[in-house]
Amino acid sequence: MTSVLIVDGANVVGSRPDGWWKDRAGAARRLHEGLLVADTPYDEVVLVLEGQAKGGVKAGRDGHVRTVHAKGAGDDTIVEQARVAAARGDRVVVVTADRFLQARVGGVGAQALSPSWLLDQL
């Protein structure tokens, strides 16, 4: 069984008051770089970006990290990524502090972890 970690990029970046709002693309790029070198127990990491953050990382695969640009709402893209992975039989974990999103991904068979867990890994 493959394990997939789906990262709500906006929520993780927004969990640290480090000035990310001044450079959303740069904050997304720093998160992506951290995910590339992080030692996590997941086979694949999916970073979902929306809005201005999409300018910081191109969509596609870079090693074990796959970046997805949300066409509309980031939450909808995260739920769809979780649904597809769970339907394949993957173990799916979503990183977000958004309680409504946690409930939505739980409905498709994913577990949720907090941004602080992920930031401790980086």
Q: What is the CATH number of domain 3-121?
A: 3.40.50.1010
Residues of the chain with pLDDT under 50: none
The predicted model scores a pTM of 0.94
Domain boundaries, the chain: 3-121
Contacts 24+ apart (CB under 8 A), 32-36: 32/56, 32/57, 32/62, 32/65, 32/67, 34/122, 35/7, 35/65, 35/122, 36/62, 36/63, 36/64, 36/65
At which residue do the structure tokens 């796959």 appear? 66
- Say what the pLDDT of residue 17 is: 76
